[in-house]
Structure 1
Amino acid sequence: MKKLYFLITVISSFFIVSCNSMKTCSDPSVFAPETILESKSQPGALSDPKAWTAITSQFAVHTEALSHEAEAELAFDVNTGEFISDLFYKIPTATHYKRGGFSLADFKEELGLYNRISVDIYPDMKDRASIWFEAVGAPRWTAATFPLKAGQWNRIWLNLGALSPKERQSIRQLMFGSTSIGRLPGDPQWKRYYLKNLRFENVLPRNISGWEISPAYVSLSQVGYRPWDKEKTALFSAQVNDDSFRLRELDSGKVCFQATLQNCASQLGDFKLADFSAFKKTGSYYIEAGTVRSPSFPISTEPFAPALENYLYWLSCMRSGCATPAHPDCFKDDALREDNKESIDLSGAWFDASDLRIYNSMLMSNILKPLADSEGLLRNSALNQPLSSEIDWGAEFFAKLWDRQSGFPYTMLCVHIPRDDVYAEIRKHYFKNNNYWTDNVKGTIDDRIAHTPWNSVFIDGSLDNYLHHLGICAAGTLVLSRPEHKFSAEQKQELLQLIENHFALL
């Protein structure tokens, strides 16, 4: 249970941070995270064509006769171009990372006075919308990738609070980038994003280094707490202007609990601790001290359930080889063996966290194994069905994973290549290797490459790679031991033999 508790806590933190909404509020007494203290809009600034520069090929900008009341249109060409097919992979020749920049030469004064830049962006597409946003010239890397809701206006921003006014004035341009490459059936050649409303804003800054808490924020579990938890605490900055804190109901604002803040000095910094362990009533709440207010959080008998539900939904959206709420049907043409160019069925599994590739050993050990390991703990909960569905999806791919001739699992991205000259060359194209959308048709030029490690890649001696392959064996053993497994007796025996042989080799 401790293992599952830790897993869900980490997952929960990711989802809560990712989904935090931004609340605009002029009164610090009703402060919530990301309060905008002041804002200066720059109407029409983005429509100046002279301010735009194409940093790479396959990028274009338009500023006239635009729809959606936009000031600028950014267009990224997603064509792959020709393929380099003699480097152990099939690699698109097209630029992987397309970029364009907007000059901030006319906004030096604003950069010195404000600590955040924001822009409204509209992805003119049905799905798979995201944008890279970077402050070029900042003395420290200041950038973010934003997943976007397609077909509607989104807001993106860069927080500059960690930079001094002089450092902010060194920013030369705002860079917009996209790594989209390749097309699914029905996709247009150009992905288009509309922009408007460049704004300079002042927000209450967060600390980005060290452990001390910014005076305007509270550190607590947004996932929530259970009524019987021995400790329910939150941390305020030692600078907060109050000696006590109040726990309030989210909807009514009614004070449900209040107590004295405890001064805490440690090697990590100085804090004020709010201890509300004695409060056990379920509901939705927030904590405040002085003018500082926390985000809302639940006290619930199952505070982790929504986070785990979000995680399972996210995993289902990350499936490859089928349509999901995040993307249309894809990669029906995976894959082509590198050694003999034979077409095999490796459609399925899940995408890696940041690209379109399938890291077979890692996803078996880091996704399928923990899912199967957790099934018994959630068997009687509402999460059992989506959990079982993801395990079934992974199990289906696990059965495809093995080259029956060598007994090794296939791989879609090799860690080592036993031809040093080829490996040195292919590293120049690392992010493009198998990392593009395809036409879903087997036998065409964009079929992605799979490898049989026995013939072309060796298992190196690194502990990380060794553990991933042990994870493949463990994941398969767990999946095949499930009463609900969907394999015939013959399939089960074959897979168990493959696992046993692979484990013996390791």
Structure 2
Amino acid sequence: MIRLFLLCLFTLTLISGKKQAPAAWIRINQLGYTPSGIKVAVWGSKENTRISNWQLIDASTKKIASSGKAGEAFGAYGPFQQTYRLNFSSFKKPGRYYLQAGGAKSPEFEIGTDVYKGAADFCLRYMRQQRTGFNPYLKDSCHTRDGYVLYGEKAGIKDSTYMDVVGGWHDATDYLQYATTSANATYHLLMAYRDFPNVFNDEKQANGLDGKNGMADVLDEARWGLDWLLKMHPEA
């Protein structure tokens, strides 16, 4: 009898000590928000619950900096049974904050004029990481002898002929490369610089290693793609 009592007590202790999984989350812009820009976060719950308001908390003082009505529910979305858009655009004071609503607390975020500074160049890290040929992350070269022709008779090229097509990027982080997707990526790099030249910096050499070369890094990356596309179309 005593053993049964102790077993029940131990089981209850485990149950009471188990941390309850959260049922609601607040999704924010992790880069932050500009003072005069639109500021919206999304509250979502896996339960069909409703909330009436939200609070913006100063991360340093833990005091309420602003609050507002949650507004109209947006219903089910993705894994959530209920969602709300929390709009705090009227709050413009720079600083670090977090939101809380309906038992959920968001990660901290910043409101400031330079929250997007460097974001454009940050995206280029992925492109450099996916380079074939010389890879600046590995500081080594890969796939230097992969270019062998198949089904090239109609173009007058003997099967298994080696062609130098080193360069470009891995597609979807695997060993394949496609001219179509590479051309699309190259196009967007060039158009990004055409439309927003002032947001890109020169911090890398053409080979992707640290150092300036007098050219915006986004153009270095676009050139990496263009050079490979020209290799893939030798008669162009």
Q: Same fold (TM over 0.5)?
A: yes
Match of 1:359 in 2: 178
Match of 2:10 in 1: none
**Cα distance change on mapping 1:284 and 1:325 into 2, 3 Å:** farther
Contact 2:121 2:200 in 1 (8 A): no
Aligned equivalents of 1:310, 1:203: Cα separation in 2: 36
Contact 2:134 2:142 in 1 (8 A): yes
CA deviation string 1:417-458 (max 9, x = no partner): xxxxxxxxxxxxxxxxxxxxxxxxxxxxxxxxxxxxxxxxxx
Give the unaligned 5+ runs of structure 2.
1-13, 153-157, 203-215
Which aligned pairs between 1:36-435 and structure 2 lie closer than 5 A? 204=21, 215-229=23-37, 231-236=38-43, 237=45, 239=49, 243-266=52-75, 270-326=82-138, 328-338=140-150, 339=152, 340=158, 341-365=160-184, 367-383=185-201, 385-404=216-235
Aligned equivalents of 1:388, 1:283: Cα separation in 2: 34
- Matched position secondary structure for 1:286: strand
Match of 1:409 in 2: none
**Cα distance change on mapping 1:244 and 1:397 into 2, 3 Å:** same
Contact 2:98 2:105 in 1 (8 A): yes
Compute the displacement of 1:375 (Å).
0.7
- Matched position secondary structure for 2:134: coil
Identity of aligned residues (%): 24
Aligned equivalents of 2:200, 2:92: Cα separation in 1: 24
CA deviation string 1:41-91 (max 9, x = no partner): xxxxxxxxxxxxxxxxxxxxxxxxxxxxxxxxxxxxxxxxxxxxxxxxxxx
Q: What is the alpha-carbon root mean square deviation over aligned residues? A: 3.0
**Cα distance change on mapping 1:336 and 1:235 into 2, 3 Å:** closer
Aligned equivalents of 2:25, 2:55: Cα separation in 1: 15
CA deviation string 1:326-365 (max 9, x = no partner): 5732122231223423222100000011312211221112
Aligned equivalents of 1:391, 1:251: Cα separation in 2: 42
Compute the displacement of 1:284 (Å).
3.0
What residue identity is the alignment partner of 1:370? H
Give the unaligned 5+ runs of structure 1.
1-112, 115-200, 206-214, 405-497, 499-506
Contact 2:193 2:200 in 1 (8 A): no
What residue identity is the alignment partner of 2:69? T
Aligned equivalents of 1:336, 1:202: Cα separation in 2: 57
Aligned equivalents of 1:272, 1:330: Cα separation in 2: 48
What is the TM-score normalised by the length of structure 1?
0.35
What residue identity is the alignment partner of 1:233? V
Compute the displacement of 1:302 (Å).
4.7
**Cα distance change on mapping 1:251 and 1:357 into 2, 3 Å:** farther
**Cα distance change on mapping 1:239 and 1:389 into 2, 3 Å:** same
CA deviation string 1:471-493 (max 9, x = no partner): xxxxxxxxxxxxxxxxxxxxxxx
Aligned equivalents of 1:389, 1:313: Cα separation in 2: 12
Contact 1:234 1:275 in 2 (8 A): yes
CA deviation string 1:185-219 (max 9, x = no partner): xxxxxxxxxxxxxxxx86626xxxxxxxxx32013
CA deviation string 1:18-50 (max 9, x = no partner): xxxxxxxxxxxxxxxxxxxxxxxxxxxxxxxxx
Which aligned pairs between 1:471-486 and structure 2 lie closer than 5 A? none
**Cα distance change on mapping 1:327 and 1:281 into 2, 3 Å:** same
Contact 1:235 1:273 in 2 (8 A): yes
Aligned equivalents of 1:290, 1:393: Cα separation in 2: 49
Contact 1:315 1:350 in 2 (8 A): yes
**Cα distance change on mapping 1:306 and 1:380 into 2, 3 Å:** closer
Runs ≥4 residues deviating over 6 A:
none
Aligned equivalents of 1:359, 1:311: Cα separation in 2: 21
Aligned equivalents of 2:87, 2:93: Cα separation in 1: 15
Compute the displacement of 1:293 (Å).
0.5
As a proportion of its length, which structure holds more strand? Answer: 1
Contact 1:222 1:297 in 2 (8 A): yes
Contact 1:318 1:326 in 2 (8 A): no
Aligned equivalents of 1:388, 1:352: Cα separation in 2: 20
Number of positions where the alignment pairs a residue of Structure 1 with one of Structure 2: 195
What residue identity is the alignment partner of 1:257? S
**Cα distance change on mapping 1:272 and 1:381 into 2, 3 Å:** closer
What residue identity is the alignment partner of 1:285? Y
**Cα distance change on mapping 1:300 and 1:363 into 2, 3 Å:** farther
What residue identity is the alignment partner of 2:191? D
Contact 1:204 1:216 in 2 (8 A): no
Compute the displacement of 1:383 (Å).
3.6
What residue identity is the alignment partner of 2:227? E
Contact 1:246 1:255 in 2 (8 A): yes
Aligned equivalents of 1:326, 1:310: Cα separation in 2: 18
Aligned equivalents of 2:74, 2:146: Cα separation in 1: 57
